[in-house]
Amino acid sequence: MGLVGLHVVDDSFVHPEPGTTALDHLPGGLIVLGAVGAAAVGYRRSRAGLRAAIALAVGLLAATG
């Protein structure tokens, strides 16, 4: 989840698409970072089945993003 968070920061703020600024990606980037952070906290506090579901969801999002 840390690598997904780093990818979001890099893609949204460090190296945004040409013609856009980091401020253009601020709302979307912060929402995704908040969701990844909440998933990380939920992962640590949950049982095995929910951990698997969280890992699968974050993994699928990371593979498609």
Q: pTM of the full predicted structure?
A: 0.78
User: By three-state DSSP, how is residue 33 classified?
Assistant: helix
pLDDT in tens, 7-30: 889 988 898 888 888 888 889 889
Q: Indicate the domain borders of the chain.
A: 2-64
Rounded distance between C-alpha atoms, residue 27 and residue 53, angstroms: 26
| Confidence tier at 65 by pLDDT (50, 70, 90) | low
